[in-house]
Amino acid sequence: DAMVIQNPRYQVTQFGKPVTLSCSQTLNHNVMYWYQQKSSQAPKLLFHYYDKDFNNEADTPDNFQSRRPNTSFCFLDIRSPGLGDAAMYLCATSRVLSGHLYEQYFGPGTRLTVT
């Protein structure tokens, strides 16, 4: 089945130790998103890629970076995780065709713990 896959599902890192989360998709969607979601809150968009074009949200800290080496894969790098970065990180994909934004498909998420 076509899907969005995230690895790892659970990640524990130490304060200040860089961490990379990965996302892959078999849907061939042209847009990939990274969201941060904390308990009882809505997903907060960090950035997205439209094809190779990177779009950063204005309030996303510089500590968060992303790479999309090809259509299928996207990575979230947290350069120096702080305690406040502990959260669920959701990857999602969608299509934008002829100006129309289609539904988003979410991966299962990576639960990040910072010790």
| Range in contact with another protein (rule: CB under 8 A) among 16-24, 40-48, 63-71, 76-84 | 40-48
Among 54, 80, 82, 102, which residue sits at the site for another protein (rule: CB under 8 A)?
A: 102
- For residue 69, state whether it binds another protein (rule: CB under 8 A): no
Strand segments, DSSP code E, in the chain are: 4-7, 10-13, 19-25, 31-37, 44-50, 53-56, 64-67, 73-78, 87-94, 96-97, 100-101, 105-106, 110-114
- C-alpha 109/C-alpha 48 separation (Å) is 16
Among 2, 3, 12, 101, which residue sits at the site for another protein (rule: CB under 8 A)?
A: 101
- For residue 55, state whether it binds another protein (rule: CB under 8 A): yes
Which is nearer to another protein, 62 or 103 (by Cβ)?
103
To the nearest whole angstrom, how small is the minimum distance from the Cβ of residue 45 to another protein?
6
Q: Report helix, strand or coil for 85.
A: helix
| Range in contact with another protein (rule: CB under 8 A) among 12-20, 59-67, 70-78, 97-105 | 97-105
Q: Which of 84, 85, 41, 39 is nearest to 65 (CA)?
A: 85
Per the listing, tokens 């659970």 go with 10
Which positions touch another protein (CB under 8 A)?
31, 33, 40-43, 45, 48, 50, 55, 90, 96, 99, 101-109
